Amino acid sequence: MGDISPFQFQVVAALIFMVGVVGVLTRRNVIVMFMCIELMLNAANLSLVAFSREVGDDQGQIFAFMVMVVAAVEVAVGLAIIISLVRNRDTLNIEDASQMKW
Amino acid sequence: MRTALFWILSVAALAGSIGVVGNVRNPINSALNLVVTMLALAGLYVLLEAQFVGLIQVMVYAGAIVVLFLFVIMLLNLRGSGTAGAEVQPLVKIAGTAVVAISAFFLLRVLSTGRAPWPDVDPSYGTTRAIGEALYTDYVLAVQVAGVLLLAGILAAVVLAKKRLD
Amino acid sequence: MATSTVFVALFIFALVVLVFAPIMTWVERKQSALMQDRIGANRASIGGIKALGLIHPLADVIKMITKEDTMPTGAHPFIHLVSPFIAVTPAMISFAVIPYGGTYDLWGAHFSLVVADLDYGVLYLFAIGSIATYGSMLAGWAGNNNWGMLGSIRVSAQMISYEVALGVTVIGLFMIFGTLRLTEMGMLQQETFRVFGFMEYLGWVEPGTRWIDWITLPMWGIVLQPLPFFMFLTAMMAENKRAPFDTPEGESEIVAGYFIEYSGMKFGLYMMGEWIEVVIISALLTAMFLGGWTLPWLPEERLIAFLSPSFGANIANLLAMLLAVGVFLGKVIVLIFFQMLVRWSMPRFRYDQVMNLGWKILLPLSLANIVLTAVGILVVKGVTGR
Amino acid sequence: MEHTNEALRWIALLPLASAVLSGLWLVLARGHWPRALVIALAVGAPIASFAIALAQVFRLATGFDAEQRFFVDNLYTWISAGDFHAELSFLLDPLSSVMVLVVTGVGSLIHVYSVGYMDDDHREDRGFQRFFAYLNLFMFSMLMLVLGDNLLVMFVGWEGVGLCSYLLIGFWYLDDANAAAGQKAFVVNRIGDFGFLLGIFLLFWSFAGAGVPTIEFREMAANVGLLSDRVVELPGVLSFLPGFPSWGLLTLACLCLFVGACGKSAQIPLYVWLPDAMAGPTPVSALIHAATMVTAGVYMVCRMSFAYSLAPGAEATVAWTGAITALFAATIGLAQNDIKKVLAYSTVSQLGYMFVAAGVAGYSAAIFHVMTHAFFKALLFLGAGSVILGMHHEQDITRMGGLRTRMPWTWITFLVGVLAISGVPPFSGFFSKDEILLAASQAHDIPGHEWIWGLGVLTAGLTAFYMFRLYYLVFTGECRADHHTREQIHESGGWIVLPLVVLAVLSVVGGLVGLPDAYGELAGVPQSNSLHYFLQPVAPSPVHHVEASVEFGLAAVTTGVGLLGIALASLFYVWRRELPAQIAGAIRPLYELVRDKYRIDELYDALFVRPLVAISRGLLARGIDEGLIDGLGVNGVARAFVASADDVLKYLQTGLAQSYVFAMLVGGALLIAWLVRGA
């Protein structure tokens, strides 16, 4: 593995995760927010796979695999929600979908 | 070789993710940046000897999920309707960044303590056969549940996206 | 190892990209002409040598390269530029895992006739194939053209749909061979099995009956999984978006679909990508279903052992290697012709028909095939005890 | 493991398979099967079960010594929690052998009969197939109950038969009265089941306390001595009970179990559901409410005989309850005019007999009577069904009469049944009843056993009387039906007659398996009471060494009383037909009280039902649910918030997804910070 330490993989994962967090917090476009959620999931996956390699046990990969399954389902349902959002409100801006309040 | 690959892939992944967030002009650009991140991550997986996960990453994320994003973006044809990040309340922005920084600090602090070097792994580590055997023996329930979840997801997507006929 | 691999890789690259794809244009023209009772391309000539129209590919290339490369206003310049390359690159690198021969020892050097013998070879192909979607999809969007956009939508939906069927169809084959490595599949397909062997296990005939041992079939994928062969071929052709699955292009409906705004060599790259993919489909099907580089009933080991005494080991290996490549190419060519045949025989499907075929016919059938295969494997294991 | 026998499971599973197949088909496919297929499957399953059971019982009886006679079939471990293990396993020993043969044998006959009886049921809800699905399900449950190797499996069967009973009583559910009868049976049985469950818990708890955590019958029997002197301290509120403050543990457990038996076997005070259960189709009454299910309580007491024989208090309770029920139900039977109601009260009364036997430790006598009763009572019910069919669903015996010539097969078989139940020698009922009364007269450790004997003899006389009253009113004299019905009376078909004949033969000769030794000696057969000796290893009854003269004397008394009853019935209903009305007129209040079943239902209604409904509606629903939980809890909290902090708190809900994400993030960050605080 050259001179790369396990720690560095975790740093990369953490950084990607943070970028995802910032994206979810700051972007208004629902689709982009959704992509940022995918980023966070992927960051978690990288962390899992890296830990898995570090421990030398492939259970972490199975975990990552399951995360992908969930992500796939999430995307299917989420995009369907976005489609119906656009159909009903004609917008992709998250702030236009704020009727659920006091 | 591996070191160089690691740096190239890591930088690509990070750049891609920043591109996803920072590209305020057009969601398609965000999606393309997302593809870059996904592919780079797949490379990192292969670097970690998790070939199967890496390939699945390409197939599922790059090949299906992001294509689906693109498909929806094109279907809705809302070119350039993404709103700029500057519209966010400054309070949220500042507080969010602060929280991220703090938690990252703690996270990294924890992670930086007592790292063991890479262990040697079995040649079968991460191969399709090893993962498949684990999935269909120890984790067979998880696989079944995942199947049910996928079915539920399909149904939900169909019901949600279908045009109401009434 | 390293040197031979590089040699092999270059050989493949030269063979496929520089020879096969241009020749495909000629093949296509000539075959369609044959089918439609025409003469076909025969005008281009160099100094009066027409060579059955084989000069035409050359003329085509020159024409495409010299044409003006246009870019519409409002197009996304970068994406418009890279899309053709995204489309053609996956097709090219797909060849890396396809074996067109076994391993041979020639004068101390070790030749393995595959560029990358990956443990997950078929998965690699699927992964690469799923990337190829972007080339077509982005092309339609980047050109700022509504027809292109429609083509993009169609292409993404069609390719995602058929990727599902594509993967599921061949699972039965994986279950039987127990590997995703294409070289290993090739080796396994050299074996034979006794067609009437079950009679012995059922006790209908005495063990050791001669005629049972004589009537054998090679363990080719097409023999073990005949239906998936055709389903896989169908799904692959749909992935390639050629007629009759060319709804994303659909000249009569959406003008030219996703590559409407391309001209010159960029347009040529799409054409090339399609032709290369025709070759890949044939090669992959050959490797998975048609026994790869081997001849039926003639394992390579036996061939080499047969030739070695008279020619010496090195020559025997060389002959076997040449034979393997020849056999492989022969099978590929047959499949290419078959695909051309389909392309020129069938009218374009309607879009909903394409979708129905993928989701309502191929997918359920292939799922049923998985179950049937599993049952079959269990039965065979139970009967033969292995 | 020569005692392992995997054939046992099929005895129970075949009817289940049949029920599930045809039931699921009904539910899922909503289509009929062809009638022939329904018949083949539904009748074939119990017959196959019977064949298997017969073969296995034969193996058991011939292949093993008396103490070693048992087969076990362990399907799998059902529950394994700590010390507690419950296997799903079946046990075939002499006791369950008899029951299995009775259940499958009589059950098969009744299935055959049902084909003929339910033939006219062409209703839209596919009554025919549904009926047989239920009936097979009942067979399965009953076999679970009988074959169960531990209390839990038995309890599953116990609940299963209760369910099937409910389903079948309300089989013609379109009529509200039938549905209500089903519910009544279910609810009353729940009360008993609760006691039964308490008994199981108590037994397991005490066995676990003694270091043997088990509910398996054979293990419990082996270790029951550990509990014989354990006592339970009762809570103070129970100070009105005799023997307060401490009871024998086994006595308490046995009494709890007996509550269950009272419910299932229709003993005072839980007998009220059985007469109403006659709302179901007649084969159901025969199978469930006469021959098999209602004897489950008796079987359970015999099965638990190892515990009862160490709990004299419980034994006395069982015996006295049985004796009182026997007499009580017999008196009600005197004044009923519905053919099935008479038989129902007679069943209650006969069940009382069985409990008398079980209570005085005459377990073999109890099981003997279970068996003979199954034969003749099933015969009587099926005969009644045949009459009902012939009379076009007329059940009132005051409108019958003179059926002897119209329905000869039904007549002769019914007469055999009546003679058997009346205890006329040499019919089977005579021997079993005789053995019970003998056991009662010899049970010196039961307080007042002479009185129990006396009640039994009196009941025997009453039984003979009302059964012959029934017989005379139905089969002799002039036909009192209206003209139209009279024209149409006809004998039933072969499906119905065949089981009648077989059961009649069994009612005649069934007594031979338990021929008392004294009689056997007359014929030169030693130990002729083979049933008694067969059951002895499992449910040991004390052997009474009495003089043959005493035995014959007692038998003579019983027979004499029975014959007296018959004579009286003949007098009232053959020679002097005006007498019954005159007598009824003379004691009108008493007659009406008896005719109205002592108004017990009304009493229960006033005592339990109405107060319960009132408390539920007034206190629980209106007070607790609406007032406390809804009013103060759910709505109250909401109102409190609205009144106090709504203007501030509502702004927390911005409607903006990103503010929620932000809150989540802050929470997550704080959580992480707390987790890593020491690092």
Beta partners for residue A29, in sequence order: A93
Strand pairing of C109-112 and C103-106? antiparallel
CB within 8 Å: B68 and C180: no
pLDDT-derived band at C271, boundaries 50, 70, 90: confident
The model's confidence at residue B84, banded by pLDDT at 50, 70 and 90, is very low
% of chain A surpassing 70 pLDDT: 94
Whether the per-residue pLDDT at A48 is higher than 50: the answer is yes
Q: Regarding predicted confidence, which is higher, B159 or D100?
A: D100
Asked if B149 is an interface residue toward chain A (Cβ–Cβ < 8 A), one would say yes
Please list every residue in chain D whose beta carbon sits closer than 8 Å to the beta carbon of residue A25: 658, 661-662, 665
pLDDT computed for residue C189 by the predictor? 81
C interface with B, Cβ–Cβ < 8 A, is 76, 79, 119-120, 123-124, 126-131, 133-134, 137-138, 141, 149, 152-153, 156-157, 159-160, 163, 180
Q: Which residues of D touch B99 (CB under 8 A)?
A: 665-666, 669
Q: State whether A24 and D658 contact (CB < 8 Å).
A: yes
Mind telling me how many Å the CA of B65 is from chain C's nearest CA? 10
Contact flag for A and D (3+ C-beta pairs < 8 Å)? yes
Among B27, B96, B139, beta carbon nearest to A62: B139
What residues 610-669 of chain D have any CB closer than 8 A to a CB of chain B?
658-659, 662, 665-666, 668-669
- Check whether the bond before C207 is cis (ω within 30° of 0): no
What stretches of D440-585 adopt beta strand conformation (E)?
Answer: none
**Does residue B113 belong to the interface with chain A, where contact is any CB pair within 8 Å?**
no
Kindly state whether residue B111 falls inside one of the protein's structural domains.
no
pLDDT of residue C9: 56
* H-run or E-run covering A19: helix A6-26
Q: Which of A33-47, C164-178, D262-276 has the lowest mean pLDDT?
A: C164-178
Mean pLDDT calculated for residue range C57-76: 80
Q: Which residues of D touch A37 (CB under 8 A)?
A: none
pLDDT at D155: 93
Mean pLDDT lowest among B128-142, C11-25, C41-55, C253-267? C11-25
Q: Does C contact D via 3+ CB–CB distances below 8 Å?
A: no
According to DSSP, the residues that pair with C105 across neighbouring strands are: C110
Number of domains in chain B: 2
Min Cα separation D669/chain A (Å) = 12
Domain limits of chain A? 7-90
pTM of whole model > 0.80?
A: no
pLDDT for B101 beyond 80: no
In whole angstroms, what separates CA D414 from the centre of its chain? Answer: 23
Chain C contact for B64 (CB, 8 A cutoff): yes
Asked if B58's CB is within 8 angstroms of C160's CB, the reply is: no
d(CA C369, CA C373) in angstroms, rounded, equals: 6
CA pair distance D160, A68, nearest whole angstrom: 46
CB–CB contacts below 8 A, B to D = 30
Radius of gyration of chain D (CA): 29
Kindly state the tokens that stand for B158.
């169909």
Q: What percentage of residues in chain C have a pLDDT greater than 90?
A: 0
Average pLDDT, chain C: 80
Coil, strand or helix at C252: helix
Alpha carbon dihedral D492, D498, D499, D503, in 10-degree steps, equals 110
Chain B CB contacts of A80 below 8 Å: 156-161
Chain D contact for B4 (CB, 8 A cutoff): no
Hey, is D489 helix, strand or coil? coil
Domain boundary residue, one of B82, B106, B135: B82
Chain D: residue whose CA lies nearest to A99: D655
Please give the residue range of the domain that contains residue B57: 1-82
pLDDT at C280: 84
Q: How far is A98 from chain B (nearest CA, A)?
A: 14
Residues of chain D with pLDDT under 70: 1, 30-31, 120-126, 243-246, 678-679
Q: Give domain status of residue B6, yes or no.
A: yes
- The maximal CA–CA distance of chain D, rounded, in angstroms, is 107
Q: C-chain residues within 8 Å CB-CB of B67? A: 130, 133-134, 137, 156, 159-160
pLDDT at C219: 79
B28, pLDDT greater than 90 = no
Q: B132 and chain A: CB distance < 8 Å anywhere?
A: no
Task: Decide if B94 touches A, using CB distance below 8 A.
Answer: no
| Cβ <8 Å between B96 and D669 | no
Taking only residues 35 to 94 of chain A, the set having a beta carbon closer than 8 angstroms to any beta carbon of chain B reads 35-36, 38-39, 42, 45-46, 49-50, 52-56, 58-59, 61-62, 64-66, 68-77, 79-84, 86-87, 91-93
Comparing CA positions, the residue from D281, D41, D12 lying closest to residue D142 is D12
Task: Mark which residues 613-652 of D lie under 8 Å from A by CB.
Answer: 650-651
The SS3 assignment for B100 reads: helix
- Sketch the domain layout of chain C as residue ranges: 2-384
Q: CB neighbours of C217 closer than 8 A, spacing ≥ 6?
A: C192, C193, C195, C223
Q: Which pLDDT score, from 0 to 100, does residue B108 have?
A: 67
Name the residue of chain B whose CA is nearest to C153's CA: B71
Best residue of A17, A18, A24, A40 to probe chain D, by most D CBs closer than 10 Å = A24
Does residue B112 sit within a domain? no
- Chain D contact present for B100, CB below 8 A: yes
Residue B135 and residue B69 in one domain: no
- Looking at the predicted structure, is the pLDDT value of residue C97 above 60? yes
Stretch C112-118: mean pLDDT, rounded?
73
Q: What value does the mean pLDDT of chain B take?
A: 78
Residues of B in contact with D658 (CB under 8 A): 88, 92
- Residue B48 in contact with residue A9, Cβ under 8 Å? yes
Please give the average per-residue pLDDT across B80-94, as a whole number: 52
Digit-coded pLDDT (tens) for C306-333: 777 777 777 888 788 888 888 888 888 8
Contact D267, D189 (CB under 8 A): no
Q: Which of B23-37, C319-333, C353-367, D294-308 has the highest mean pLDDT?
A: D294-308
CATH code for the domain of B55: 1.20.120.1200
Residue B86's pLDDT band, with cuts at 50, 70 and 90, is very low
User: What ipTM was predicted for this assembly?
Assistant: 0.71
Question: Chain A residue with minimal CA distance to D662?
Answer: A25
Quote the tokens at residue D469: 């009253």
Residue of B92, B103, B109 lying closest to D658 (CB–CB): B92
User: Between chains, do B32 and C79 touch, taking CB under 8 Å as contact?
Assistant: yes
- Split at pLDDT 50, 70, 90, the class of B83 is very low
Neighbouring chains of C at 3+ CB pairs within 8 Å? B
Amino acid D122: pLDDT = 55
Whether B62 contacts chain A with CB within 8 A? no
Q: What is the CATH code for A7-90?
A: 1.10.287.3510
Q: pLDDT band at residue C10, thresholds of 50, 70 and 90?
A: low
In total, chain B counts a number of residues equal to: 166
**Averaged pLDDT score across all residues of chain A:** 83
Confidence (pLDDT) at D154: 93
Whether residue A50 has pLDDT greater than 60: yes
pLDDT, mean of residues C128-145:
83
| DSSP result, C90-153 | HHHHGGGG--SS-EEEETTEEEESSS---TTHHHHHHHHHHHHHHHHHHHHHHTT-HHHHHHHH
The whole-angstrom distance between residue D3's C-alpha and the CA centroid of its chain comes to: 29
Report the pLDDT value the prediction gives residue D320, as an integer from 0 to 100. Answer: 92
Q: Do A94 and D658 touch (CB under 8 A)?
A: yes
Residue B157 at interface with chain D, using a CB cutoff of 8 Å: no
Q: What was the pLDDT predicted at B79?
A: 47
